[in-house]
Structures are given as structure tokens and as C-alpha cells.
Amino acid sequence: MSDDFAFWLSYLTNGKHLTWYASFQFTIFAAAFGGTLAVIFGLIGATLKNSRFLTLRVIGTIYSSIVRGVPDVLFFLFFPLAFEQGVEWLIATQVCSPEMIAAQSAAWPPCKDANWFLGTPEYLVLASVSLGLVYGAFATNVIHGALRSVPQGQLEAARAYGMSANQVLWRVQIRQMWVYALPGLSNVWMLIIKATSLLSLLQIADIVLWADRLGAPNFLPAVGLVHADWRWRYYLVLFVFYILITWISEKSFDAIMRRAGRGILSEAR
């Protein structure tokens, strides 16, 4: 019994498993930062859709309609690559001479000095921005609908007090709309949490990538087969992790909704 305990203790605390445990922070960061950006982009998009100016309304409508129709996996791959190559193109305009471009054998970057080497922190930020852009389009529709649900009497009263259109929007309408928007935003948050499983597509050693590596059959020449295909066991850990995050999120949103609904809960119903 003690030998089994010593084996599992040493196995679950080896360097690779400690790296796997540390990679959970990438998932949490991407969800938190991506969710924050989604709300920001959603507020901007909803503000554009509610604008008095036709051009701004068209921009907001295009953002919320087109981006929602693009598969999140495709956008997740497209945006970081496009941004990376866009930065390299800007660098190339400054550092690459015609001779250096002519001597470059590879199709990209234009010259070797323009190559932008990205690490995990940079890819993690780009992944979070991608999540914010994609799910910000969903949040735009949620917030836009919530803004339209605010009782018109409150808006008319604010205008009667002499508030400008921007003051009515930001001081009254947006403050009142949260009780209507939070149920929809909670669904957007759940989608963002699920989408964090795509981080490995951007060369980020996240929890999914490590679970696949650690669970694959492990054979060492010195000792033979350490374990067979255990991937289902590691995926079960991820399943429990995501269920736990979902449960915590639901409880948190319930508390936020109760607080946001104080004083206007009866009207929201």
C-alpha cells in the first residue's frame, strides 16, 4: 500500500505534471481577459447599433452579424496569424532593403530581420483578443436587446431633466440595462469558457495539450511500459474542471443578478 502511494505521489508530482497544473493558469487568464474584452466590444458594438448616425449603425450591425457567422475555430486561427503577419509587414517596411528581400528564399517574412518571434505570453494575449472579438459580437446583440428593454419612461424623464443623448445612454440606459443583459451575458461567458479548449491551436501548451501528452501511452526503454493509453483519465479531470468552473460561474452570475436587480427587479420581470 505504501509502495503504491509512493508511486502515485512521485508520478503525479513529476516535472511534466507540475507543468500541466501550471498550465491551468493559461485557461483561466484567457477566459477572464477574453470575457472582459467581449463585454467591452459588446458595449461598443451596441452603442454603435444605437447610434443616431447611419454609418455607425451599419458598422455595429456588420460587426454583430458577420463575426457571429464565422466559426470561432476559423477566427481563432485567422486573427492571430493575420495580426502577426501584419506586424511583420510593418517591420519589413522599416528594416528590409530591396537587396534583403531579394535574398530571402522563404515566402514569408519579407526578410529575416522582420521575423517576429512570438512566445506563449504573446499568443495568449492574441488568443484572448480573438475570444473577445468573436464573443463580443454575441455580447453586442445581448446588450443591444437589453438597452431596448429599459423602460422608455426612464429615458424620457432623463431627457426632461436636460440630459444630452450621451448622458442618457451612459448614465441611465446602460446602468439600467444590466439586469436585462446579465442572463444573456452568462451564456456568452459559458461559450468563452468552452472555447478556451482551443488554446493549443496557437502553440500554447494548455491543459488540453498536456492532458493528451500525459495520457498517451508512455514507454521508457529503461523500465518498459510505464502506463497504457490513459488519455480518458486525464480528459475526465478536464471534464470535472470545466464542470466546476461552470458551477462557480452560475453561482457568481446569480449573485451579480440579484445585486443588479435591486430596485428594478419588479420592472425586469
Residue 189, classed as helix, strand or coil, is: helix
* CATH ID of 24-205, from 1.10.260.40, 1.10.3720.10, 3.40.50.12160, 3.40.710.10: 1.10.3720.10
The rounded distance, in Å, linking the Cα atoms of 141 and 68 is: 10
- Contact of 237 with 211, CB cutoff 8 Å: yes
- Contact of 142 with 124, CB cutoff 8 Å: no
> What is the pTM for the complete model shown?
0.83
Residues with Cβ within 8 Å of residue 231, at least 6 apart in sequence:
211, 212, 215, 216
pLDDT per residue rounded down to tens, the chain (269 residues): 566 777 777 777 878 888 888 899 999 999 999 999 999 999 999 988 888 888 999 999 999 888 888 888 888 888 888 888 888 888 888 877 777 766 776 667 777 777 777 788 888 999 999 999 999 999 999 999 988 888 888 888 888 888 887 788 777 887 888 888 999 999 999 999 999 988 888 878 889 888 888 887 766 656 556 667 788 888 999 999 999 999 999 999 988 888 877 766 444 44
> Hunting for cell 493509453 — which residue is that?
229
The rounded distance, in Å, linking the Cα atoms of 216 and 232 is: 9
